Each structure stands twice: as C-alpha cells, then as structure tokens.
Amino acid sequence: MEKLYHLTKAEQLTTSIVADLLKDAEGFNKSLKAGVRNFKNLSGVTICSLFYEESTRTRFSFERAALLLGATVIGTENAAKFSSAAKGESLEHTIKMVSGAAKGHLGYADIIVLRHPENDAADRAARVSSVPIINAGSGADEHPTQALLDAYTFQKLLGRLDHFTISFIGDLKFSRVVNSDAFLLSQYPGVKMFFVAPEGLEIRPELKSYLSQKEVEFEEASDIKAVVRESDICYVVRVQKNRIKDSELLLAYQRNKDNFAVTEEVYKMSQQKGTFFCHPMPVDEEEQEIRPEVENLPRVKMFEQAGYGVPVRMAILAKVWQNTKI
C-alpha cells in the first residue's frame, strides 16, 4: 500500500488507504466512547496548526485530535494577520522555517496542518516542507480530510461506500468539499452522483471530465426535489459568499434558494427512501440551506458528521506520523 506522507488532495486517498484510515478512526471512536483520553501515538510531537482562512470545525477537531494523541499544538487561527505573512513573507518561507528545512532538528513542528485561500497552497507547501503537510482546505479546490470524514460518515450511515446514490446540492462551483468528496467516491463501484446547482454555480468542467473518464454515472439537475427520492445521501453545501465575485451568481442562488435547501417538504418527500442529509457546515444563517425546522430531525446528520472529525483526524495524524518513521 502507498504510504501517506503529505496529504494535499483527495486523489491520494486510494480505496486501500481509505479502508485503513477508516478502520483506525473507528478504533479511536470506540476508545473515545469508552472514555480514553490519554493516547500516546504522538507523544513528544509538535503539530503546527497554520490557518490563513477562517475555520471552526476543521481547526478545533484537528487540534483536539492532536492533543488527545499526546501532541503539543502550536499555531495561529489567523495566519494571514498574525504570522509574518502580514509583513510580506511568502508561504514557502514560512513553511521552510516551521518545518526546519535548513536543519531538521531545529524546526518548530513535526507535522503542519495548513488551511489557505489559494488553490495550490498545499502543493506549494509540500514542495518545500521537510515535514508532512496536511491540507485542511485550499481555496475552492481541495479539502481531503473533510472527504475522509464524509466517507466515514457515509460508511456509518449506509454500511458501505459502494453502490449508493449521492446528490450534491448548492454552490458546487466553489465548494472544495464537493470536489474532494467526488474525487474520493469516484473510485468506488456503483456510486451514482447527482449535481444540483443554480445556473453559473455548477460543478467545474474539470471535475465532469474526470468523472466521465472514470466512468462514474452522474447527472445534473436544478432542484433538490427532483432527486431527493432517489438519493441515499443528500449532501448540501452553502453558497460560498466569500469566494463569489460576481453578485449575479449570488442572486441566481438566492432567487431559487428553495431548490437547494432541505425544507420540511423535502424531508417528507424522502421519508420512504430514508435519505440522510449531510452538510460540512457552516450553514449560512441567512440562506438556511438546512432549515431550522428540520435540523434536529433524525435523518439530518450534520452535527454527528462534524463530530466524526475528531477520530478521523486522529487516524490521519497518527498514520502520517507513523509513516515518517518507516
């Protein structure tokens, strides 16, 4: 099996790596449930949590995972402002410094968890780093650890990662999560995908050609109500206001936002199929793509999904660290 060192894109998560990590995550989940808090996998290790872009779940779950495993965490939640980036330093210089590229034993961290607004940031960082880089979200492009925690969630909900139908709903153009999830799931047989997006925010052509090449069955639609009865999972994402430059695109979403939301009607329509509703969060309070009246219903799983971030990220950190030694 290939060895996971840097994790920058979901394509690296082959089915054997996914199976291995999900098994480890399940083990961590069970131990956490049994009350274990003092894992030793990363004892003596320093994790640098370097976030150039906002985060709640990803940063906290990574930091909690690291601390539970016995690591020390250093970092900043606003690297754009509180690191030397504010003084004009390049990402490459920061990464070289933190990773100890000049003299390894003088580096500041053993693993770097990086979130950055630019699409190629994680790859650029990996090129100059002398310690593993874990991509915690790069621009609108990739979010591989979210894809892994989503895979863990689907496995828990459906008992499998093959032969099921998933609909991705919302702003699919700027969602790095949808991109990474689709890459990961494209490897499994019998996964059918629906993509439901407003005009102008459809999935990117590169993803479409990738899926066609991999012979994944997929269809595009413009209303969640047209696909929900056929979907085992409806995966809803917010409209990425922080990335959309063209206000027309946002208006196109807002004009038809009921078509991209889990409403009571949609929930009821999916009763017979037993569709589960997932969302990487945050839910946009203004757009309410998961309506408040359904968010606590049993088939809406987003809070549970976010919780799986802890054992899944424990599995990633433990594996990557172990791989630095063999």
What is the set of active-site residues?
Answer: 57-58, 87, 115, 143
Of 141, 163, 186, 187, give the one whose Cα is nearest residue 16: 187
CA atoms within 13 Å, Cβ hemisphere of 181: 31
Instruction: Give the residue ranges of DSSP H helices in the chain.
Output: 15-33, 57-68, 79-82, 91-99, 121-128, 144-158, 176-185, 205-213, 247-255, 264-269, 302-307, 309-324
CB 145, min distance to ligand NCD, A: 8
- Our CB check for ligand NCD shows the closer of 45 and 262 to be 262
Binding to ligand NCD in span 46-65, by CB under 6 A: 57-58
Backbone phi, then psi, for 191, in 5-degree steps?
Answer: -90, 115
Q: Phi/psi class of residue 284: alpha, beta or left (left: φ > 0; alpha: ψ in -120 to 50)?
A: beta
Is the bond into 282 cis (omega within 30 degrees of 0)? Answer: yes
CB 310, min distance to ligand NCD, A: 13
Answer yes or no whether residue 280 interacts with ligand NCD by CB under 6 A: yes
Count of residues interacting with ligand NCD (CB under 6 A): 11
CB 242, min distance to ligand NCD, A: 8
**Contact assessment for residue 75 and residue 320, using Cβ atoms and an 8 Å cutoff:** no
Binding to ligand NCD in span 158-197, by CB under 6 A: 176-177
- Our CB check for ligand NCD shows the closer of 99 and 145 to be 145
Of 109, 138, 174, 161, give the one whose Cα is nearest residue 9: 138
CB 326, min distance to ligand NCD, A: 30
- Our CB check for ligand NCD shows the closer of 146 and 165 to be 146
| CB-count burial class (<10 Å; 0-12, 13-18, 19+) for 226 | middle
CB 56, min distance to ligand NCD, A: 8
**Contact assessment for residue 268 and residue 247, using Cβ atoms and an 8 Å cutoff:** no
The three-point CA angle 50-52-58 to 5° equals 65
Q: Which of 94, 146, 165, 270 binds ligand NCD (CB under 6 A)?
A: 146
Q: Which of 124, 143, 173, 319 binds ligand NCD (CB under 6 A)?
A: 143
Which residues face 318 on adjacent strands?
A: none
- Our CB check for ligand NCD shows the closer of 112 and 283 to be 283
CB 93, min distance to ligand NCD, A: 25
Question: Which sign does the torsion angle of CA 20, 23, 29, 35 carry?
Answer: negative
CB 143, min distance to ligand NCD, A: 5
Residue 205-244 contact track with ligand NCD, rule CB under 6 A, x = bound: --------------------------------xx------
Residue 76-105 contact track with ligand NCD, rule CB under 6 A, x = bound: ------------------------------
- Our CB check for ligand NCD shows the closer of 115 and 319 to be 115
Which residue number has the CB closest to ligand NCD?
280
What distance in Å separates the CA atoms of residue 104 and residue 285, rounded to the nearest whole number?
Answer: 45
CA atoms within 13 Å, Cβ hemisphere of 219: 11
Here the tokens at position 201 are 């925010």
Binding site for ligand NCD (CB under 6 A): 57-58, 137, 143, 146, 176-177, 237-238, 280-281
